[in-house]
Chain A
């Protein structure tokens, strides 16, 4: 299973993330975002605790990524991995794991709700389509 792929969009960045489970889907969406930031990382490892609550699963995905983006930008860090301590359709408690960065190659402005979709395919694989404003 591929972790994510980049879709066509004229001005912004549209990705489709995949996952065997919902957690796996969320962590691959995070990876898609952090890869897209094209950061020059340092060896310094970093961890950040996060707590996110949202009305439903798709909004939870946007809020989860928005939280990671905010922390990434103010702390100059990039998170390629996540450990979930609590995970439901409306709530996450987790630890973002990554590195400090020297610079970003792309400035992701925000995670949008545009054409936002999450669904499970017949083969059990979860999919999410997300548009990032860049």
Chain B
């Protein structure tokens, strides 16, 4: 059990567990949190998991935790670790089973007042068009050849085929495909799991939400992102589905077997890792990159179906534009400054969002002046935030939080909340919920999560990303 005395206070919002805390730590562990939030973090296994992360071979500077940290396995959710390129560790556990789980934001030209009369119809239509993939859903089974093309060519391939718009490529992280993606590094099993899941949401905390821009904090940046007060926007949160889950399963097994060969011993089996430049490491990285391309393609197809629904209800001219799409479960090779020297690092972000500052070369041209849009969804029925990357984020490898973070188990949430009552309460606040599972509603009730306002306050004050706008939900949609 941890207590405050185990920490060195670096600043009001940054706390450090020194390397001396446990003999196997290679670097210190740092937590972005307010003093009040620390108490909550002590309650689960997340700090032990963060300390386990500091033992990764080749880890640089420190293992980091974002304020929405909570217990997972291997890395905590909200954990960040950068290792030395090219021989530092790459760990599938540092990416998670849902490879490249991401959030995207679509903007409309409409205000809340204009959309209100159509809201229920829109929510119903979107629910019909965007299945969860757990039921009958959309019955399209792609061939393995088609899956391979999507894995290697991603969003640009789908645009070529007539889905979506050219602008969608520019506004997606990595332009919707990872250069290093190699479908030959992925098992037939993983591809099979992906064949009928393109354009599906999945379950759990994945959702599609119709929201309105409630408050603008930074007019100039909001204008660059194309956001205005009372505007209707749509947020989508999901990942690479069964394909990504199977890749993680396959490679954790491969790495556990290979670790003795590289003399790697770790405190948690799920942390399994190998050197990035080893054959196993390279194959995992190329497979993970392909899964990321699949994940962007998944949300690209979801966008296509949402646009269809939008047009069905509002007429042919109505359109939705992509603001941005950014992953929060991914490992990437990036250049960062470490002790005054620029160096390449392998940055693992598990439940943490990249937040590049203004001027970063990897940003779309139109966002270069202000910085990367950060999309931070919250729990069901509570506000989400749009933030922007800051130069002060350098100390955190330009990373910020990814959501509000669970504080209660799903099991406890089911005992505590009734799905029916949650829906009723949301309805009283004018929020429509389209979901077939009352149990799913109870599991995701906002009371089971940390307060998003506290999380956002920490990342804003610590300079990891700056508030641009607050979005409030109007309709929560979880597909059939």
**Residues of A bordering B, CB below 8 Å:** 6, 8-13, 38, 40, 55, 59, 63, 66, 70, 73-74, 102-107, 109-116, 131, 133-134
Task: State which of A8, A73, A103, A112 has its C-beta within 8 Å of the C-beta of B270.
Answer: A112
Residues of A within 8 A of B246 (CB): 70, 110
CB distance from A9 to the nearest CB of B (A): 6
The residue in A9, A10, A13, A55 that gathers the most chain B C-beta atoms within 10 A of its C-beta is A10
CB distance from B350 to the nearest CB of A (A): 12
Chain A residue nearest to B73 in the complex (CB): A114
**Residues of B bordering A, CB below 8 Å:** 44, 70-74, 77, 96-98, 132-136, 189, 192-193, 195, 202-204, 242, 245-246, 248-249, 252-253, 256-257, 268-270, 272, 406-412, 437, 439-440
Residues of A within 8 A of B257 (CB): 55
Given the known interface contacts A103-B134, A114-B73, the answer about A74 and B193 at a Cβ–Cβ threshold of 8 Å is yes
Contact B249 A66 (CB under 8 A): yes
The residue in B98, B203, B248, B412 that gathers the most chain A C-beta atoms within 10 A of its C-beta is B203
16 A-B pairs with CB atoms under 8 Å apart are: A6-B411, A8-B412, A9-B71, A10-B44, A10-B406, A10-B407, A11-B77, A12-B73, A55-B257, A73-B193, A74-B189, A74-B195, A102-B135, A105-B134, A110-B249, A133-B96
Task: State which of B133, B270, B406 has its C-beta within 8 Å of the C-beta of A11.
Answer: B406
Residues of B within 8 A of A105 (CB): 134, 437, 439-440
**How far is B257's CA from A21's CA once the two chains are assembled, in angstroms?**
28
Chain B residue nearest to A58 in the complex (CB): B269
Task: State which of B136, B189, B437 has its C-beta within 8 Å of the C-beta of A102.
Answer: B136
Given the known interface contacts A105-B437, A111-B249, A113-B269, the answer about A9 and B256 at a Cβ–Cβ threshold of 8 Å is no
Contact A70 B71 (CB under 8 A): no
Chain A residue nearest to B440 in the complex (CB): A105
Contact B71 A10 (CB under 8 A): yes
Given the known interface contacts A10-B44, A10-B70, A11-B70, the answer about A103 and B269 at a Cβ–Cβ threshold of 8 Å is no
Residues of A within 8 A of B410 (CB): 11, 13, 134
Task: State which of A8, A74, A103, A131 has its C-beta within 8 Å of the C-beta of B136.
Answer: A103
Contact B245 A133 (CB under 8 A): yes
Contact B97 A110 (CB under 8 A): yes
- Give 10 closest A-B pairs by Cβ, nearest first: A103-B135, A114-B73, A113-B269, A107-B203, A109-B245, A104-B134, A114-B270, A110-B97, A109-B97, A10-B71
Residues of A within 8 A of B204 (CB): 107, 134
Contact B408 A10 (CB under 8 A): yes
Chain A residue nearest to B272 in the complex (CB): A113
**How far is B146's CA from A36's CA once the two chains are assembled, in angstroms?**
32
- A sample of 6 more A-B contacts (CB under 8 A), given A11-B71, A106-B203, is A11-B72, A74-B192, A107-B132, A113-B256, A113-B269, A133-B73
Residues of B within 8 A of A134 (CB): 203-204, 410
Residues of B within 8 A of A111 (CB): 249
**How far is B246's CA from A111's CA once the two chains are assembled, in angstroms?**
10
Residues of B within 8 A of A102 (CB): 135-136
Chain A residue nearest to B244 in the complex (CB): A109
Given the known interface contacts A11-B409, A70-B189, A73-B193, the answer about A114 and B245 at a Cβ–Cβ threshold of 8 Å is no
Task: State which of A11, A107, A113 has its C-beta within 8 Å of the C-beta of B252.
Answer: A113
CB distance from A68 to the nearest CB of B (A): 12
CB distance from B244 to the nearest CB of A (A): 8
Chain B residue nearest to A114 in the complex (CB): B73
